[in-house]
């Protein structure tokens, strides 16, 4: 989120490294990936890791990439802001975004943004695919005024030049002329960040699901039932490429509008007007097809149980609520049209056009036990190092306790 081997830097990263390092490319010929140099690649990954955790690359030196992508929380943002954890707080301590910070786990396996068939887009980074690939994504948060707040690539490079250690590493990896052009130096830093985010540390494939595939463990009866619900309810239409694949990331990387309502708490936090509309893919540069309005890239389900809240705007706190939201399209029961977190109707879609009803209306309506089983299966997609987070007291556990005290209608 495979096009690339887990242990190798993706092709777009390698190509960027080749360009930044000054490898010649003959006119009229495509760039060719150089022979891997394990020592150099390890050095590049180490530089990217150093940058990832360095707060000096934000305007007030208070925030690093790891602030919003905390490795202890599946590279998502565990911090509370004015809208809870729905959207992240910026470097100034006041600014808030309008979209939920996604996990970076398995992000290197997302294919580059491209059109697949007529008006069907796939891949790319961010919810709206505005970065073609991980290297293009890596530096953008630094330059976002509501995130890390740096004003230009040149300002970022000035921070690099403050450190003789950085200067020595950049010149060794990218050549002595790397700082002659701030854009080249900035891109070199993004290349290093992408290399780190493409390392096995982000894509471990060691969840219980993976261990079951390898014959090391077995599903519980509820987890096995949940897997059958996942397949029969047609979740796999958007969240699976190949059943039982060793590198399955539980997304087809396509773009869909599933009718998510506005998160009014996030809008209040970020001061956008109530009538603001997040057009998703349609806001990507070069996309002017109204059929893309309101569409967002299908996220991975790996680590979904420990990366709440949910949807592109973080509107749902509880994984079970997110599952039940889909049930509103398949169930005729009045209760299916109510958000259990608010006790009110789900709310109108932010963009009412282009809703993927063909996919959303597939499958049968789910009752309570099937919802619980599906949630139990989704929990098995949690990387081993994050399984302890499943035991945290939080919205999902609170909701479960409430359900046990009061039977569902």
pLDDT at residue 14, rounded to an integer: 36
Alpha-carbon 26 to chain mean position: 36
pLDDT at residue 3, rounded to an integer: 29
> Is pTM, for the whole model, over 0.85?
yes
What is the rounded CA–CA span in Å between residue 326 and residue 376? Answer: 17
pLDDT at residue 241, rounded to an integer: 85
What is the rounded CA–CA span in Å between residue 396 and residue 394? Answer: 6
All domains in the chain, ordered by first residue: 11-69+104-202 (1.10.760.10), 208-405 (1.10.760.10)
Residues of the chain with pLDDT under 50: 1-31, 393-409
Computed from CA positions of residues 360, 78, 382, 103, in that sequence, does the dihedral angle turn out positive or negative? positive
pLDDT at residue 34, rounded to an integer: 64
What is the rounded CA–CA span in Å between residue 111 and residue 216? Answer: 30
Task: Give the chain's mean pLDDT.
Answer: 89
pLDDT at residue 87, rounded to an integer: 98
pLDDT at residue 29, rounded to an integer: 36
The DSSP code for 12 is: H
pLDDT at residue 243, rounded to an integer: 79
CA distances from 403 to 275, 360, 380, 408, 409 (A): 35, 26, 22, 7, 10
What is the rounded CA–CA span in Å between residue 222 and residue 179? Answer: 57
SS3 73: helix
């Amino acid at each position: 989120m495979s096009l690339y081997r887990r242990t190798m830097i993706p092709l777009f990263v390698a190509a960027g490294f080749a360009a930044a390092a000054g490898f010649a490319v003959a006119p009229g010929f495509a760039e060719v990936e150089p022979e891997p140099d394990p020592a150099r690649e390890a050095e590049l990954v180490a530089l990217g890791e150093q940058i990832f955790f360095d707060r000096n690359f934000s305007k007030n030196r208070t925030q690093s990439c790891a602030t919003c992508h905390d490795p202890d929380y599946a590279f998502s943002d565990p911090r509370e802001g004015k809208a809870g954890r729905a959207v992240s707080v910026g470097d100034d301590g006041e600014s808030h975004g309008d979209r939920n910070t996604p996990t970076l786990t398995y992000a290197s396996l997302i294919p580059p943004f491209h059109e697949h068939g007529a008006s069907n887009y796939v891949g790319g980074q961010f919810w709206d695919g505005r970065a073609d690939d991980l290297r293009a994504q890596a530096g953008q948060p630094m330059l976002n005024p509501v995130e890390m707040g740096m004003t230009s690539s040149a300002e970022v490079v000035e921070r690099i030049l403050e450190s003789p250690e950085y200067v020595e590493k950049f010149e060794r990896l990218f050549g002595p002329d790397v700082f002659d052009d701030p854009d080249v130096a900035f891109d070199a830093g993004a290349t290093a960040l992408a290399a780190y985010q493409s390392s096995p540390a982000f894509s471990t494939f060691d969840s219980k699901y993976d261990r079951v595939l390898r014959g090391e463990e077995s599903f519980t009866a509820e987890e096995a039932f949940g897997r059958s619900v996942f397949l029969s309810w047609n979740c796999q239409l958007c969240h699976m490429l190949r059943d039982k694949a060793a590198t399955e990331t539980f997304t087809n990387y396509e773009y869909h509008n599933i009718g998510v309502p506005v998160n009014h708490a996030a809008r209040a936090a970020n001061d956008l007007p109530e009538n603001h509309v997040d057009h998703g893919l349609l806001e990507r540069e070069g996309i002017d097809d109204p059929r893309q309005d309101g569409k967002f890239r299908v996220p991975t389900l790996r680590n979904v149980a420990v990366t709440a809240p949910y949807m592109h705007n973080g509107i749902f706190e509880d994984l079970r609520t997110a599952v039940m939201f889909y049930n509103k399209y398949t169930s005729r029961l009045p209760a299916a049209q109510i958000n259990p977190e608010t006790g009110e109707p789900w709310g109108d879609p932010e963009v009412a056009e282009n809703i993927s009803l063909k996919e959303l209306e597939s499958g049968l309506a789910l009752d309570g036990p099937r919802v619980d089983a599906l949630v139990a299966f989704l929990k098995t997609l949690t990387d081993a190092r994050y399984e302890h987070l499943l035991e945290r007291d939080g919205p999902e556990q609170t909701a479960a306790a409430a359900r046990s005290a009061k039977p569902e209608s």
